[in-house]
Amino acid sequence: MNRDLGKTLPVSSQVAGWYDDPEDPTQQRYWDGSAWTDQRRPQEGPPPFQGQFGQSKTQDFPKYGQTAEHGQVYGGGGPAQPASQFGQQPPQQGGYPAYPQSGQGFAYQGQGPGTTPDGQVLSGWWRRAFARILDGIIAWFLALPLTGYFYYQSSKVMNSWIEDVLDAARAGSSTPVSMPPEVFKWAIPASLLGALVMFVYEYLFLVAKGRTPGKMATGIAVRLRDVPGKPPRGAVAKRCGLDLVLNMAGSIPVVGLFASLALLLNYLWPLWDDKKQALHDKVAGTNVVRV
Tally of CB atoms within 10 A around 20: 23
C-alpha distance from residue 42 to each of 45, 77, 226 (Å): 9, 19, 34
Contacts by residues 174-179 (CB-CB < 8 Å, ≥ 24 positions apart) = none
* Angle (nearest 5°) at CA 65 between 67 and 48: 85
Residue spans of alpha helices (H) in 171-286 = 182-209, 213-218, 233-249, 255-268, 279-284
Q: Per-residue confidence of the chain (291 residues) as pLDDT tens digits?
A: 444 444 444 444 567 788 888 888 888 888 877 888 888 888 765 554 444 444 444 444 444 444 444 444 444 444 444 444 444 444 444 443 343 443 333 333 444 458 999 899 999 999 999 999 999 999 999 999 999 999 899 888 888 888 888 888 888 776 676 777 888 888 889 999 999 999 999 999 999 999 999 999 999 999 999 999 999 999 999 999 999 999 888 888 788 889 999 999 999 999 999 999 999 999 999 999 999
- Alpha-carbon distance 179 to 151, whole Å? 16
Question: Residues 6 or more apart from 181 whose CB is under 8 A from it?
Answer: none
Q: Is 69 left (phi over 0), alpha (psi -120 to 50) or beta?
A: alpha
Burial of 80 (0-12, 13-18, 19+ CB in 10 A): buried
H-helix or E-strand spanning residue 19 = strand 17-20
Given a contact cutoff of 8 angstroms between Cβ atoms, the answer to whether 273 and 287 are in contact is: no
* Angle (nearest 5°) at CA 219 between 280 and 228: 60
Distance of CA 144 to the CA centre of its chain: 32
Question: Residues 6 or more apart from 111 whose CB is under 8 A from it?
Answer: 117, 118, 119
- Taking the CA of residue 287 as centre, how many other CA atoms within 13 Å lie in the half-sphere pointing to its CB? 25
Contacts by residues 160-166 (CB-CB < 8 Å, ≥ 24 positions apart) = none
Task: Tell me the angle at which helices 233-249 and 255-268 cross, rounded to the nearest 10 degrees.
Answer: 140
